[in-house]
Structure 1
Amino acid sequence: MKALQLDTFWQLINEKLERWVEASIKHLPNIAVAIFIAMAFGLLAKIVGNLAHRVLSRTFDSTQIVGLLTSIIKVAIATAGIFIALDFIGLRGTVTSLLAGAGIVGLAIGFAFQDITENLIAGIAMGVRKPFQIGDVIEAEGVFGNVEAINLRNTHVMTFFGQREIIPNKILFRNILTNYSVNGHRRVEVPVGISYADDPQQAAEVLTEAVNEFDFVIRKEETGVWAESFGDSSINLLVWFWIEYPGEPGFLAARHQVIVAIQRALSDANILIPFPIRTLDFGAKGGEKLNAMLNDSVLPQNQTDDGASQPSASEDDNSPGDDS
């Protein structure tokens, strides 16, 4: 009985193997063509990937972005070749299942790594738009400094305090970004106050001449001095001028040199930069003269002193010693 069952088992296996061999022989041309298609698409992916790498290198500054996009292109072409090869040998259902599974997996990964995906997309978008390059001076979300590296997920900025800030690309992509290196120049503003006794027009001429003496000041015809407001003890002026930026001597150094020159020029022109002072004007409309206020405060005191001294005098006059 056992021998009969074993013979039946081997017979089934032989029949199954024969069917597979017959099917393989029957589909051998299709399998060969499918293998050729897969190899051809693999070679095509390599060629197109190399061409794409050259083109993308001219568009993007980040090698990581170029590498990622090149890999995506290669994988997409190779995957397309595999699906076409599977469909060619009659495995269309397998192709459909693989596509459906890939879609579900991609959706799950997208939700699970939403933040990472958003930063990657923002990095690629910034690579296309190029709002800044390595070496530019930028300011965003309170971070101010030089761009050191641009990666897929983040950007490295070295602040002027010597700190390296790593900013996610989605923050740079969503929020306001200031690039000080795009135009190649920057305006510097210096506030200064002069006395009310001095002429603002004369001060403006003196300051303009003093500022334009510096070689680092560009667009000298646009150097200006403007009266801003009336302060408590001074007329407030605003001096502005243009410098190359980034460049020498730099923003802070240029501002420092101009402030020193402003103080020296105003001093040579006998124009006062006043200290904070307070003027008490008792003679203004609705007020009193100072002497009148002093008299009003002194007279009652004198009367009080006189009234206190009179009883003492009368007591002295009526003392018993005088009657004798």
Structure 2
Amino acid sequence: MLDELNQVLLDYWHQFLHLLPKLLIALVVVAIGLTVANHVSALLGRKLRQRSHDALLADFLTNFTRWALLLAGLLLAMQVLGLSGVASGMLGAAGLSAFIVGFALKDIAENFLAGVVLAFNRPFRIHDTVQVRDLMGEVEALNLRTTLIRTFDGKHIFLPNALVLREPLTNYTRDGFIRQDFLISVDLGTELTSDRIEELLLNYVRGHRGVETRDPHTPYSIVEKMSSTSVDLRIFIWAYSEDYRRGTLELKSALLKGSKAMLQAEGFVVSGVN
């Protein structure tokens, strides 16, 4: 029995020695494939960023190219090892592979394909502020499976690409400008008119830093409610939305406080701002 075991181990050792050169060559092929994949994908990424100025699409295509080259290197290494039948089976069994991917890896395949659509359709760019369902934040990356969004309170949310593609998506910064409005209620004195209040408010917001004043984004106002003793004015302004938090939220806060202080300095009684 020991002799048979020794013979089996000896046969395995001889087979290993026979396979060792091919194994070393296969490892070299994998190492070369890894190096080529990293260099080619990095070069492609730089070229795409220089030519397209679209970091989102460039990053996605870079990652896709890297994984494709790595897969090609792995298949070549299997050919060197004499596993051509396995490699051919992986490439040739398209129907079975499609069934397996569709059944066992449905979510991964769905998110990958959704990522391809998002990369080429480009409903958003890096640093755009978007909202999907009740989630709102700045786009930081589009990966092969997920879209990374950073909320204004610093949370990082990894949304499946399929969800981003399927759900309604609101892009707050795509146009470059976004409209904001606020309501201010002012008590009317015996010699005060709503026209005078509108004039003061529009002059104030036009001179405020961050408010766009060029056509067609000039500020304007409407009388939303008026009585014999008070008037409610709604002021509409356009803000540069590249940085949504600073360009809109902080700007609106500053306009609310500044408008109230300006009117009070002019002798008006401000009953409310919103």
TM-score by length of 2: 0.64
Q: Deviations over 1:9-41 (max 9, x none)?
A: xxxxxxxxxxxxxxxxxxxxxxxxxxxxxxxxx
**Which residue of the partner structure matches residue 124 of structure 1?**
116
Cα 1:206–1:173, aligned 2, differ >3 Å: closer, same or farther? same
* 8 Å Cα contact 1:139-1:178 kept in structure 2: yes
**Which residue of the partner structure matches residue 212 of structure 2?**
218
**Which residue of the partner structure matches residue 16 of structure 2?**
none
**Which residue of the partner structure matches residue 200 of structure 2?**
206
Within the candidate set 141, 148, 170, 1:178 is matched to: 170
Cα 1:207–1:129, aligned 2, differ >3 Å: closer, same or farther? same
SS in 1 for 2:264: helix
* 8 Å Cα contact 1:65-1:151 kept in structure 2: no
* 8 Å Cα contact 1:65-1:152 kept in structure 2: no
Q: Deviations over 1:33-52 (max 9, x none)?
A: xxxxxxxxxxxxxx9x9989
Matched, 1:149 2:145: no
Q: Distance in 2 between matches of 1:241 and 1:190?
A: 9
Matched, 1:264 2:261: yes
Cα 1:241–1:98, aligned 2, differ >3 Å: closer, same or farther? closer
**Which one has the bigger strand percentage?**
2
Q: Distance in 2 between matches of 1:253 and 1:104?
A: 56
Q: Distance in 2 between matches of 1:129 and 1:212?
A: 37
Cα 1:180–1:274, aligned 2, differ >3 Å: closer, same or farther? closer
* 8 Å Cα contact 2:59-2:142 kept in structure 1: no
SS in 1 for 2:93: helix
Q: Distance in 1 between matches of 2:91 and 2:240?
A: 56
* 8 Å Cα contact 2:205-2:255 kept in structure 1: yes
> How many matched pairs?
220
Q: Distance in 2 between matches of 1:260 and 1:163?
A: 29
* 8 Å Cα contact 2:187-2:231 kept in structure 1: yes
Q: Distance in 2 between matches of 1:98 and 1:189?
A: 59
The one-letter code matched in structure 2 to 1:255 is: K
**Which residue of the partner structure matches residue 241 of structure 2?**
245
Residue 216 (structure 1) shift? 2.1
**Which residue of the partner structure matches residue 166 of structure 1?**
158
* 8 Å Cα contact 1:187-1:243 kept in structure 2: yes
Q: Deviations over 1:158-188 (max 9, x none)?
A: 1111211111111221222222332222222
Q: Percent identity?
A: 23
- RMSD over aligned CA atoms reads 3.8
Q: Distance in 2 between matches of 1:199 and 1:246?
A: 37
Residue 243 (structure 1) shift? 2.1
Task: State the structure with more CA Rg.
Answer: 1
**Which residue of the partner structure matches residue 107 of structure 1?**
99
* 8 Å Cα contact 2:210-2:247 kept in structure 1: no
**Which residue of the partner structure matches residue 126 of structure 2?**
134
TM-score by length of 1: 0.55
Q: Distance in 1 between matches of 2:249 and 2:91?
A: 59
Higher relative contact order (CA 8 A, sep 6+): 2
Residue 193 (structure 1) shift? 1.4
Unaligned stretches of 5+ residues in structure 1:
1-46, 83-90, 276-324
Cα 1:110–1:56, aligned 2, differ >3 Å: closer, same or farther? farther
* 8 Å Cα contact 1:119-1:152 kept in structure 2: yes
